[in-house]
Amino acid sequence: MGRMIGVLAAHQIATGLVEHGRVVGSVRLYPESGSSAYFLDGMPAESISQCIFDQIEPFLQKESIDAIGVGIPGIIRGGIIQESPNLPQTKGFKLEESLTVALKDRNLTAPLRIFNDADVIAAGIAATRDQLDKLVRTWHLGHGVGYGRYPWTAGVWEGGHTVVSLDPKERFCGCGGRGHLEGIVGGRAMRLRFLDMEPEEIFANARAGDPRCAEFVKLWHRALAAATATSIAMEGPGKFFITGSNARFVEVGRLDIYLHEMVRMSALQGSQFEVIATDLETGIIGAAVNAEIAARGNLTPHGQ
């Protein structure tokens, strides 16, 4: 690996220099830690691009950079944000082109690529756990639900919008679709379903014996198991890492039982769940790793 810049642009912009799969020096945050959360939510797409570039530029002035990677929420195809429920103002924005032009205007030539933010988290997990030769899949459980995959490959990969229910009343997904995983498991959806409770109260009440909450917690786990089973049916068994602010609600034993009920073919069995903590550095490292692999023209894992 060379020297790369990684950027994670979700609610704020986190930028770092990456060497040998680790962040070197301090992480730049914009706005700085302690400032208002969800800073990017109302910002115009062009302004987001400018902010990202402003965070990248100081590293380029001091270092020789081999690649730059940016992770941002949404369906990312061909360097374009085709859709982003979390940042709807960026729909259709050519972020990769915008940043590349800004680099050229300052005679900077490092190759730059953009990726879905959940995909860079998956790449960061692979890099920090020495699993760059393996298929790594992640569920990021928070306000919504992100599905991350390493190695990066062309595709939509919006696993959070996997259909897990045929009940037309399941309409809580932020995209407006019915029966989606995010409409059950996502934090926003849980708040809409239980208008008088926060997610942690729902799970606490379930443990205390509240039948309505207990039934929902069962549905919550079955929905996550169903979406995982769909991924297994498409790409085979393996380990699934679960992270994000709502990963604390996962009961791995219960999830294993439900998944085993759904995946019965022997060739598809053997998957595992692991709940792990990730941070901004995980995404920064993953964005840099994906960009470095893309710059080499090698987008497939060893042995696949």
Query: 32-64, pLDDT tens digit by residue?
Result: 765 555 678 889 999 999 999 999 999 987 778
Other beta carbons less than 10 A from residue 265's beta carbon:
9
**CATH fit for domain 124-275, picks 3.40.50.740, 1.10.3720.10, 3.30.420.40, 3.40.50.300:** 3.30.420.40
pLDDT of residue 219: 98
Helices 252-262/211-235 angle, 10° precision: 50
Is domain 3-116 classified as CATH 3.90.420.10?
no
List where CATH 3.30.420.40 sits in the chain: 3-116, 124-275
DSSP 208: T
In the chain, alpha helices (H)? 45-62, 95-105, 117-128, 182-185, 187-193, 199-207, 211-235, 252-262, 280-296
Mean pLDDT, residues 230-252 taken together: 97
DSSP 32: P
Q: What is the pTM of this model?
A: 0.91
Q: Is 34 exposed, middle or buried (0-12, 13-18, 19+ CB in 10 A)?
A: exposed
Cis before 88? omega within 30? no
Q: What's the mean per-residue pLDDT of the chain?
A: 93
Q: In what order do the strands lie in the sheet with 112-116?
A: 22-30, 13-19, 3-9, 67-72, 112-116
pLDDT at residue 6 is higher than 50: yes
